[in-house]
Amino acid sequence: MTYTKFAFWLVFFFTLSCKSEAQKKQQFKVQKSEAEWKSQLTDLQYYVLRQEGTERAFSSPLDKNYSAGTYVCAACETPLFLSDHKYNSGSGWPSFDREIQGNVAFSVDYNIGVARTEEHCATCGGHLGHVFNDGPRQTTGRRHCINGAALKFIPKDE
């Protein structure tokens, strides 16, 4: 390899690595400091939304909530899921067969050693849960397994 070629690849390599660094620090429309989130959210909401925690199975009152309405982000109130798409997966977490498109964003995490599709609020970046492929076959086949602590339920009549 000539020196010029080598220099070219070196520049190319550094350009690439800078780019991936920038992508990690994704910007969201609603941005708050960790201290601000901490004062706004309950301990459990903070643990789930900001630290990618998982609430205990069967602990959320929203798991068995089947009233008509909209599930919004507990941190920034962006509408994320509709009651029409909620179903009883038996997992102990609120489950939906689809999200409100565009309001939920996805990434991959390796928190338990295997690749899982993580999902978060597209407006504030708050962690919601994970998507699995064992959902209802007659609809989407997807199971959005969501922490109830990350959601706030707005009944249809209000």
R_g (Cα) of the chain, nearest Å: 19
Residue number with CB closer to Zn ion (52 or 136)? 52
For this structure, is 145 an active site residue?
yes
Tell me the C-alpha distance between 4 and 23, whole Å. 29
CA distances from 148 to 57, 72, 151 (A): 10, 10, 5
Tell me the C-alpha distance between 2 and 155, whole Å. 68
Residue number with CB closer to Zn ion (41 or 124)? 124
Q: Is 76 in the site for Zn ion (CB under 5 A)?
A: yes
Residue number with CB closer to Zn ion (1 or 35)? 35
Number of shown-chain residues binding Zn ion (CB under 5 A): 8
Q: How many residues can be counted in the chain?
A: 158
Binding positions for Zn ion, 103-142, rule CB under 5 A: 121, 123-124, 126
Residues engaged in binding Zn ion (CB under 5 A): 73, 75-76, 78, 121, 123-124, 126
Active-site residues, by number, are: 145
